[in-house]
């Protein structure tokens, strides 16, 4: 385990506290390692670090309007891949109503986030009713199917060859952010027992991104009970109570929901905006060159972005500074809004993400230009 070289210093004109009381006329940018967990420095710039005029080359911020991925597919493994690497797959799935087969992902743990819709999830362990805003964490190798009450939209995040767990809550204690007691598990209830039958069932198994179908002359979801400490869990964002400070903008790492070896899932929930006059009131410009960042916008107005609506996503690969849009920065620093109403899912990955092969029109053109400040005359 390496020890980072530590030498806290102050050079030139700088604030005494990160993210607060910036020198007049400056813009703060944090350069950090290991996401927001490693050593970091805050630089004070004369101009917004995102004040570029153009990008030439494949490295650029991207935005996707995932509402345009509107084709329903029966299997979650047929859902289009938005971004992926060797340790993670991010897909957007629109179920085709009731699944007539079982799915089993043996490539890694699978998290489902229900953006729209409701229904019933049946798995090896029993039955879970699900609704919009639910996370469902499915341990690797769990057989499951989903019966949706009409249309649904689901963000899928796979920890390839890995498992999701809960982050350490540190000094705030295990009951902070959300109490583990709010996690729901599948039940062997009447709905689960009623779905058991003796007809032929197919189980589609994903292994190394290849599909194998196992056929049984009965429903393999035929358990009558179980005991132990391994099972899917359900968490709704409405049960998350975010960490916050009136005097300091806490980093995204404080909003970590699930954690794997090479990626984290964070949830941004409604909260009061910092009220201290000197505090930054939105995410600071930052260069975290050890992680790529994906954000899916579920609900509300994302307070550090302009022209983003629910169902969209953004992708900010490592390699350039990113942060709030000019209009959002101005609104926040004027304290024009006193609280956020956003709900968003962020996935930070330790390895470079590759964009998927998405249909024409899904990627938002010229997203990189959205940081350009408008001329004063406008």
* Catalytic residue from among 19, 249, 255, 325: 249
Helix, strand, coil percent values for the chain (each to nearest 5) = 10, 35, 55
Residue 372: count other Cβ atoms within 10 Å of its Cβ.
16
The token duo for 79 is 């859902």
Let me know if 101 is a catalytic residue: no
Pairing of strands 88-93, 153-160: antiparallel
Token pair 């993400």 is found at 353
Separation of alpha carbons 53 and 154, rounded Å? 36
What is each CA distance from 205 to 26, 141, 288, in whole angstroms? 54, 8, 36
Name the residue among 89, 59, 135, 95 with its Cα closest to residue 298.
135
Separation of alpha carbons 53 and 371, rounded Å? 9
Would you say 21 is a known binding-site residue?
no
Residue 334: count other Cβ atoms within 10 Å of its Cβ.
9
Diameter of the chain by CA atoms? 76
What is each CA distance from 137 to 6, 112, 123, 161, 179, in whole angstroms? 38, 6, 12, 15, 16
Would you say 127 is a known binding-site residue?
no
Would you say 286 is a known binding-site residue?
yes
Burial 301-319 (b: 16+ CB within 10 A, else e): ebbbbeebebbbbbbbbbe
Which of helix, strand or coil describes residue 312? strand
Distance of CA 336 to the CA centre of its chain: 27
Burial 35-58 (b: 16+ CB within 10 A, else e): bbeeebebbeeeebbbeeeeeeee
Which of helix, strand or coil describes residue 184? strand
Binding residues for homogentisate, as ranges, are 322
Binding residues for Fe cation, as ranges, are 286, 292, 322
Binding residues, as ranges, are 286, 292, 322
Catalytic positions: 249
């Amino acid at each position: 385990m390496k020890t980072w070289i530590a030498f806290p210093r102050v050079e030139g004109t700088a604030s005494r506290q990160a993210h607060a009381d910036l020198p007049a006329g400056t813009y703060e940018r944090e350069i950090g390692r290991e996401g927001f967990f490693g050593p970091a420095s805050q630089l004070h710039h004369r101009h917004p670090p995102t004040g570029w005029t153009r990008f030439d080359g494949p490295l650029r911020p991207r935005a996707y309007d995932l509402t345009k991925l509107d084709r329903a597919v029966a299997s979650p493994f047929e859902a289009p891949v938005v971004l992926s690497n060797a340790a993670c797959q991010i897909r957007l799935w629109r179920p085709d109503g009731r699944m007539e087969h079982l799915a089993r992902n043996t490539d890694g743990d699978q998290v489902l986030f229900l953006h729209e819709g409701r229904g019933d999830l049946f798995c090896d362990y029993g039955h879970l009713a699900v609704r919009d805003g639910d996370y469902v964490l499915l341990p690797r190798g769990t057989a499951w199917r989903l019966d949706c009450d009409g249309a649904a939209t689901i963000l899928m995040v796979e920890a390839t060859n890995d498992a999701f767990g809960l982050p350490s809550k540190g000094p705030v204690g295990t009951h902070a952010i959300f109490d583990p007691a709010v996690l729901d598990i599948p039940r062997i209830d009447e709905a689960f027992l009623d779905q058991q039958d003796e007809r032929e069932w197919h189980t589609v198994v994903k292994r190394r991104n290849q599909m194998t179908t196992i056929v049984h002359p009965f429903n393999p979801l035929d358990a009558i009970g179980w005991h132990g400490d391994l099972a899917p869990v359900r968490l709704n964002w409405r049960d998350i109570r975010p960490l916050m400070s009136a005097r300091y903008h806490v980093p995204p790492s404080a909003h970590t929901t699930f954690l794997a070896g090479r990626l984290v899932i964070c949830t941004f929930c409604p909260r009061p905006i910092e009220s201290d006059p000197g505090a930054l009131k939105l995410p600071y410009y930052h260069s975290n060159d050890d992680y790529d960042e994906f954000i899916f916008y579920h609900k509300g107005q994302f307070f550090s972005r302009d022209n983003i609506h629910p169902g969209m996503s953004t992708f900010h690969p490592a390699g350039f500074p990113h942060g709030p849009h000019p209009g959002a920065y101005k609104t926040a620093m004027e304290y024009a809004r006193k609280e956020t109403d956003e709900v968003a899912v962020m996935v930070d990955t330790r390895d470079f993400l590759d964009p998927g092969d998405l249909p024409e029109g899904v990627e938002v053109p010229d997203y990189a230009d959205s940081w350009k400040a408008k001329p004063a005359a406008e």
